[in-house]
Structure 1
Amino acid sequence: MVSALLVAVFGLLGAFVKVPYVALGPGPTYDTLGELTLQEGSAAEEVISIGEGPEVFPPDGQLRMTTVSVTTELSLFGALGLWGSGRYALAPEEEFYPPDRTQEDVENENRQAFETSQTSAESAALRHLGYPTFVSVGQVVADGPSDGVLEPGDRILSVHGTETVDDRQVQNSLTETAPGDEVRVVVSRDGEERTETVTLGANEGRSHGFLGIVPVTEPEVDFDIDIELSEVGGPSAGLIFALAIVDKLEDGDLTGGATVAGTGEITSDGRVGPIGGIQFKMRAAREEGATVFLVPADNCVEAVPHAPDGLRLVRVETLAGAVDSLESLADGGDDAPTCG
């Protein structure tokens, strides 16, 4: 009876008591060159649509962005079951949902990062295609040096005497300044040019002055690009978004009719950064029929031992490099840089 009672208690604990872990596994993938039904019963819409103006070239293959699923509220038995399946890994919950932030806070941050990745992808793609760019104020830090002086949407013409067409130039223009310095920022607001003076603040980890804005590089175009994916968070789709825009606006076919997948953050000037969960993303991609996977260079060491059979890993550092590699593979070449 005692043994039976202990087994029953353990069973109840294992089935209902939550453990402070999350399960990471392969998430859904999306063909950014294709269509997606956003709501049941509604018509399918293009994941990436280009507004009227430029010629759009229909692609033949697929460019799949990949995701990682994060399962929360795990019971002991549920966690052990997912881990034992071999498709999932367990990680401390606090790594994804820190105790000082609510789940809603984290989801909002991920959503904002996803929106920023879309903007960076558009800028990187259109710059690669030769379109001119300008810099605007994306966000103003609350109670920061520019709060009440600059406004979101201001077009930044120069900072501290340096003309700007790229958000990195905004940062570089402040490298020789110090907190407390006054700098002049020339902006265009509602079509009117104006010069504002900002007293720079201090920011942890920086010795130079802090302007207190998030500058955004935007393309100078007369058409819109819409990305219709609302249930995805984080910045790691940037590279694939940028490639899909290039593929649609440039004559030719980057995929050569194949299914290509990948991941990676991207900056507005086309640099590709590392991401997390690449082993799960590669598995999901292979299960969707991908034969090529674009891997940020800094993820290669982690990716190689987890690569599924039949999936070629192409090392990527920049958007231009990714385009060159895909064009080479589509033409039957074998010189694309690989991981390992």
Structure 2
Amino acid sequence: MPRRTATMLASLLMLIALLCAGVLIPVPYAEMSPGPTYNTLGEHGGEPVLQISGHKTYPTSGNLNMTTVRVTGSQYRMNLVEAVYGWLAHDNLVVPHSTLYPDDKTPDQLNQETAEEFSQSQESAKVAALKELKIPVGTRVVVASVVKGSPAEGALHAGDVIKAVDGTEIKQPGDVARLVTKHQPGQEVLFRVVPAKEAAAAEKEKRAPRQEQTVGLVTGKAPDKRAVVGIQAGIDHTFPFSINIKLTDVGGPSAGLMFALGIVDKLTPEDLTGGKFIAGTGTIDDTGKVGPIGGIQMKTVAARSKGARFFLTPKDNCAAAAKDTPKGLTLVKVDTIGDATKALEKIRKGDAANLPSCSTGR
């Protein structure tokens, strides 16, 4: 065999071997890419995403799309070829596998966390929307969680409304810990509660709870020697009418802003979008404050590919989003739900030139 031919054959075989190795060798990376978007004013799975009953609603038009990021599964292991392709792809992001799936948490734990974040984002969206509309929202202190193996296990349950501890009325979650830690470990503390089922029934039937009970718990000892009973107290809200958000297979907190705006739109005579296609992202808290999220550049790509012309962007994400804005998409900086509704008014009236914009410097 001529030397030149042998050299070419050897090179070809080496190339094939390298390609095979690239396909077969797993690497510790995961990939993020633009995910689906959902119109909070529309339907998903044949049902309205936002379902409101017990209060007058109004017709809406246009889009208020929440955006998502698609990630490779926790059990999926990328090969070298896929990782290189992901690094070169403009709209994708390759990150260490541990960034998305920390070693100290199981896939089930991570799924539970994202589900809880999504649920909390819906709750906060309802509160923020109603406060923006000056509609009163009730609050109550509840048992948020019970520690397994603690004195409270089996005696108190998540969702129980805490009315008093040792006869002292509870107004804030912090009141519970303050009153419990007045005791020494081994002493009894008395909780007056409305059971979770009774509280839920009373809210559904728009009546006062008919059942309260007193629960005595012998306190345990925390590592720092404080008296504890093994519960986490939290705030629950009561709404003057029913608001349900129907969206499955989505997790995390980043849809809060768009859910809140969708609720405001349905409860407002004015059509907030004016028929325009607007997308966005951002967490929201009970006060209407908008917080930053991850994967902003992939979310802007997803929004523009679906037809969005404007993208409501959390203030703290503006600099990253402005570095690579899809052509035809206007980034609108927002810090609160009030900022967002004012921006929608400008968009609706065709005053886009005066929108608060994002720049790479902030």
- TM bin (shorter chain): 0.7 to 0.9
Aligned to 1:328: 346
Q: Is 1:245–2:263 an aligned residue pair?
A: yes
Q: Partner of 1:111: helix, strand, or coil?
A: helix
Give 1:138-287 correspondences, 5 Å limit. 138-143=144-149, 147-157=153-163, 164=171, 169-171=172-174, 173=175, 177=178, 180-182=181-183, 187-189=193-195, 190=198, 191=209, 192-194=211-213, 212-213=231-232, 215-223=234-242, 225-287=243-305
Aligned to 1:317: 335
Deviation at 1:184, TM superposition (A): 7.2
Q: What is the letter of the counterpart of residue 75 of structure 1?
A: N
Aligned to 1:70: 71
Deviation at 1:202, TM superposition (A): 6.2
Q: What is the letter of the counterpart of residue 170 of structure 1?
A: P
Q: What is the letter of the counterpart of residue 240 of structure 2?
A: V
Aligned to 1:41: none
CA contact (8 A) 1:217 1:268 kept: no
Q: What is the letter of the counterpart of residue 94 of structure 1?
A: S
Q: Is 1:132–2:137 an aligned residue pair?
A: yes
CA contact (8 A) 1:113 1:234 kept: yes
Question: Normalising by structure 1, what TM-score?
Answer: 0.82
Q: What is the letter of the counterpart of residue 119 of structure 1?
A: E
CA contact (8 A) 1:137 1:213 kept: yes
Could you tell me the percent identity over the aligned residues? Answer: 39
Q: In the superposition, relative to structure 1, how do residues 81 and 116 fare at CA in structure 2: closer, same or farther (>3 Å)? A: same
CA distance in 2, matches of 1:94, 1:102: 12
Q: Is 1:50–2:52 an aligned residue pair?
A: yes
Aligned to 2:88: 84
Aligned to 1:95: 99
Q: In the superposition, relative to structure 1, how do residues 335 and 170 fare at CA in structure 2: closer, same or farther (>3 Å)? A: farther
Deviation at 1:195, TM superposition (A): 5.8
CA contact (8 A) 2:55 2:241 kept: no
Deviation at 1:67, TM superposition (A): 0.5
CA contact (8 A) 2:62 2:277 kept: yes
Q: In the superposition, relative to structure 1, how do residues 159 and 313 fare at CA in structure 2: closer, same or farther (>3 Å)? A: farther
Q: Is 1:106–2:101 an aligned residue pair?
A: no
CA contact (8 A) 1:123 1:268 kept: yes
CA contact (8 A) 1:138 1:152 kept: yes
Q: Partner of 1:269: helix, strand, or coil?
A: coil
CA distance in 1, matches of 2:291, 2:223: 23
Q: Partner of 2:332: helix, strand, or coil?
A: strand
CA distance in 1, matches of 2:121, 2:223: 24
Q: What is the letter of the counterpart of residue 84 of structure 1?
A: L
How many residues end up aligned between the 2 structures?
324
CA contact (8 A) 2:69 2:298 kept: yes
Deviation at 1:121, TM superposition (A): 1.6
CA distance in 2, matches of 1:335, 1:184: 58
CA contact (8 A) 2:143 2:231 kept: no
CA distance in 2, matches of 1:253, 1:298: 28
CA RMSD of aligned residues (A): 3.1
The unaligned stretches of length 5 or more in structure 2 are: 1-8, 184-188, 199-208
Deviation at 1:323, TM superposition (A): 2.0
The unaligned stretches of length 5 or more in structure 1 are: 39-43
